A and B are shown apart, each in its own frame.
Chain A
């Protein structure tokens, strides 16, 4: 059963169509990278997939049922979403923020398992040394990692077995090189456990390295969907991004590597 399906999904606001007739299906263990130029509709598409925005047309199915048929609470058990940026200004500690990811799974009182899961995910993103630091005092990249830990804590230890869906909106923004790769390795680990992952990425090379498939958006429309080799051709990239590139195989694993031409 497909964990996440989009059928002719569209979104229009104030007469402007931001997402136009996008369809795809994602199964367990798959990592789909969504790429495209600024304003292509990537974030909007993700918000439609997680239920934050109301569809203008088409339908989204989560675990075989339409999104609208799941209650808000049930959705929280099926999928977790990392937003592009966070506006938390209150002085929670990093660990308390991660613990909030367990809200759908407890009824107000944190259980020992909640603490364990929160501590574990904070460790996995490499931020456990910041557990007792106040969130507003962290750098942008550190905050993003804490939010990621929160979202992973929401998936829980059995997220893979339950085939949960992980939606990541630019998880590598404001991260340094090492943390960018660490984050995507983590996403791959969760995919390997059975989670279905959709990640918006700006870096085509990161997408090429870590994604099973790439979905390329142009002006709200689905331009291409397929393996990195199929999608990342210099012709397609020139067409969508208006940037001349040459695509060469990566020296380690022969995956496509996009090199800009000057």
Chain B
């Protein structure tokens, strides 16, 4: 897009020979177009997610069922069966809503972590949430009936998600504390602490896996691969507030994240409370990813690939990347879930397999495409 084609701003009386300069509309305009497109895509994915399956429901029927549920009486003159309504309201809707929240939460957290570490190859797993949650989950699966019997009786079927959430958050807190010295958090130290703690929790997880029975092994495997199959209104009501808070809070840190990319010192000179921003970011990411992992297991690649895709299309400005990542993450996870539950009907593939199967080669394609000038891409 040539500079001359853009509208210009006149310099009024500043200097006689000041050239009329273009406003950076090209990226902003593109950003708006992309965000609108992503919103439409999400709506399509949502309708597909609730409509496709063993019991098909058409979009007009979806609207009819929802409106009647909300208003208490039929609004649209669209016929549907009671079993369609049952499937939609008790199975598909919570699953799709969970998919949207988890997809958005993982993607936005990925973008935030990449900004925090100033590295586009960073992922939320670096600060220990996934490995900590997995360790806690494996502890519950392997030792739940024996050592943690008391806890299991109190929490019942919430034992696993609660443990996973706490495991993730505590691990992140530990890594954060390790990298915090005299009030300042060294990001480089956080990376190394993450490596060490991840290795340690991986080792302990390995020991427990070694001790596990065949039945427990199956549970561990499927937990590690992730699934939205456990979605219920109950699970949703537990996870949704935590993920929603983070989804609402992180975009407010968009401008500070932009400034952080200049460098921590430079961000400080621009009036950003760098330590505060880092602390809040770690907290929101821990909550969002912890809650996601707790209800749907470890789903990979979304946090890494989605922000990348956004940056390739709209540039690195977090004011566009964060909302865009939320939309694209939600859409991709819904699409992956659709694939996961239709491709080997009546069984369900763990969704982590789908995201990795598609994410891996796609990421490779991105790399190969930009090989020549990778250092110049975000």
The interface of chain A, by Cβ under 8 A from chain B, is 47, 50-52, 72-77, 79-81, 83, 86-93, 95-97, 99-101, 103-104, 108, 112, 115-116, 119-120, 122-124, 128, 131-132, 134, 136-137, 154
Contact = CB atoms under 8 A, between A and B. Distances in A.
Nearest to A95: B24
Contact of B316 (A52, A90, A104): A90
A91 B377 contact: yes
Given A91-B316, A108-B319, A123-B19, A73 B271 contact: yes
A115 B315 contact: no
A83 B266 CA distance: 8
A81 B263 CA distance: 13
A99 to B, nearest CB: 8
Interface of B: 3, 9, 11, 14-15, 18-19, 21-24, 26-27, 118, 120, 252, 254-255, 258-259, 261-263, 265-266, 268-273, 311, 315-317, 319, 375-378
Contact of B24 (A51, A79, A93, A136): A93
Given A72-B268, A75-B271, A99-B24, 13 more contacts: A79-B269, A83-B266, A88-B261, A92-B261, A95-B24, A96-B315, A100-B262, A103-B255, A103-B259, A103-B271, A115-B24, A119-B9, A119-B11
Contacts, number: 115
A52 B26 contact: no
B24 A100 contact: no
A172 B253 CA distance: 34
B254 A108 contact: yes
A104 B24 contact: no
Contacts of A154: 269-270
18 contacts: A50-B269, A51-B268, A72-B273, A88-B261, A90-B261, A91-B311, A91-B376, A92-B316, A99-B24, A100-B258, A101-B270, A103-B258, A108-B252, A108-B254, A108-B319, A123-B11, A123-B21, A132-B24
Contact of B263 (A76, A77, A86): A86
B27 to A, nearest CB: 7
A136 B21 contact: no
Contact of A86 (B26, B262, B311): B262
Nearest to A115: B23
A83 B263 contact: yes
Given A90-B261, A100-B270, A123 B18 contact: yes
A115 B266 contact: no
A52 B255 contact: no
A80 B15 CA distance: 23
Contacts of A101: 270
B19 to A, nearest CB: 6
A122 B23 CA distance: 12
A115 B25 CA distance: 11
A92 B270 contact: no
A115 B311 contact: no
A159 to B, nearest CB: 14
Nearest to B267: A103
Residue from the set B11, B23, B262 with the largest chain A CB neighbour count within 10 Å: B262
Contacts of B259: 100, 103
Contacts of A122: 21
Contacts of A108: 252, 254-255, 319
B377 A88 contact: no
A81 B267 CA distance: 11
A109 to B, nearest CB: 8
A80 B269 contact: yes
Q: Shortest 5 CB-CB distances between A and B: which pairs? A: A76-B271, A119-B21, A90-B316, A73-B271, A104-B271
Nearest to A103: B270
